[in-house]
Amino acid sequence: MNIKRWIARREGSWQQLEALLKQAEVKGLASLNAREISSLASLYRSVSGDLARARTHNMGETLVQELQLLTARSYRQIYQGSRRQESESIWEFYRWGLPATLRLTLPYILLATAIFGGAGIIGWWFAWRDPKFMTLLLPDSMISMVRDQGQLWMGRILTDQPGSSAGIMVNNIRLCFYAVAGGIVAGFYSIYILFLNGLLIGTVGALVGQNNLALPFWAFVFPHGSLELPAIFISGAAGLLLARALLFPGRLRRADAFQVYGEQAAHLVFGVVPMLVIAGIIEGFISPSPIVPDILKYGIGVALFVGLLKYGERRKPGV
């Protein structure tokens, strides 16, 4: 592939899109006629394809960032420019926009997952080898219930399922927003939240494993964790995107970098809230229920996780 020839051939479309965006941003989307709006949508799709091609062929960070900025500005005008089409825009976002953002930010999501997973392995390793390590992270009441009574602590959720479910949702949403906001402090707090929570779940895994309660514990975690944990990873990725804009804007101005990566982070935030609501309902009513067999809980978790992966692969026809 002749990159210079390809850029020369496509540059006219980018300039045409830039001109339409400037008019829409200054005068409003209503200033465009029907033909221009159609051209804007068509050019957005083609530039999105150009961005994917530029990434695939490693055409340089500068070009990729410029195309990212163009697609981000186009997305905002197309999906958020008309209040009369707000409900349709929301539907379009969750149907096509969010999966596209998940694919675009996949490296950051994988990095957040690796931080969490690495911390989980560390927590499990130290807790398994040194019981005193558990006391540094877990409350004595939890350790005593598992070791001395041979019981798990999740049964308390059943005493007030609606209240517990609502509390779980609020706590998880708060945690995820902290992970996102942590990007403002160079991403250190986002990394801290990912690492600490990974450390905790690894330590708990060692505790239940040593006391032959691993099967029921993970049966509790799987149904809601299949959405809750990816939501934490995605939130951490949003924080890392903000940190990227702050620390490594590249050839973009820092303000433009925040526009590009901040919009991607905002899309991820909009995506995790429904995931956490669904996870909270499951954690309040299904995960701790003794009526639901463990094998079914595992099946629900696997099905939800596979469904989430399939959702992330969705592509709008023609894009």
Residue 157: predicted pLDDT: 56
Residue 245 has pLDDT above 60, yes or no: yes
Instruction: Determine which of 105-109, 149-153, 232-236, 307-311 has the lowest per-residue pLDDT on average.
Output: 149-153
CB 155 within 8 A of CB 170: no
Residue 156: predicted pLDDT: 60
Please give the backbone phi and psi of residue 28, each rounded to the nearest 5 degrees, phi first.
Answer: 95, 155
Q: Kindly report, residue by residue over 62-98, the tens digit of the pLDDT.
A: 888 888 888 888 887 776 554 445 555 778 888 888 9
Q: Kindly report, residue by residue over 118-173, the tens digit of the pLDDT.
A: 999 999 999 999 989 999 999 998 899 999 898 887 766 555 555 556 667 778 88
Residue 79: predicted pLDDT: 67
CB 75 within 8 A of CB 97: yes
Residue 300: predicted pLDDT: 96
Whole-model pTM: value is: 0.74
Q: Confidence class of residue 235 from pLDDT cuts 50, 70 and 90?
A: very high
Residue 288 has pLDDT above 50, yes or no: yes
Residue 78: predicted pLDDT: 73
Residue 52: predicted pLDDT: 82
Residue 83: predicted pLDDT: 46
Residue 44: predicted pLDDT: 86
Mean pLDDT confidence for 44-64: 83
Q: Kindly report, residue by residue over 214-234, the tens digit of the pLDDT.
A: 999 999 999 999 999 999 999
Q: Kindly report, residue by residue over 183-200, the tens digit of the pLDDT.
A: 999 999 999 999 999 999
Residue 86: predicted pLDDT: 54
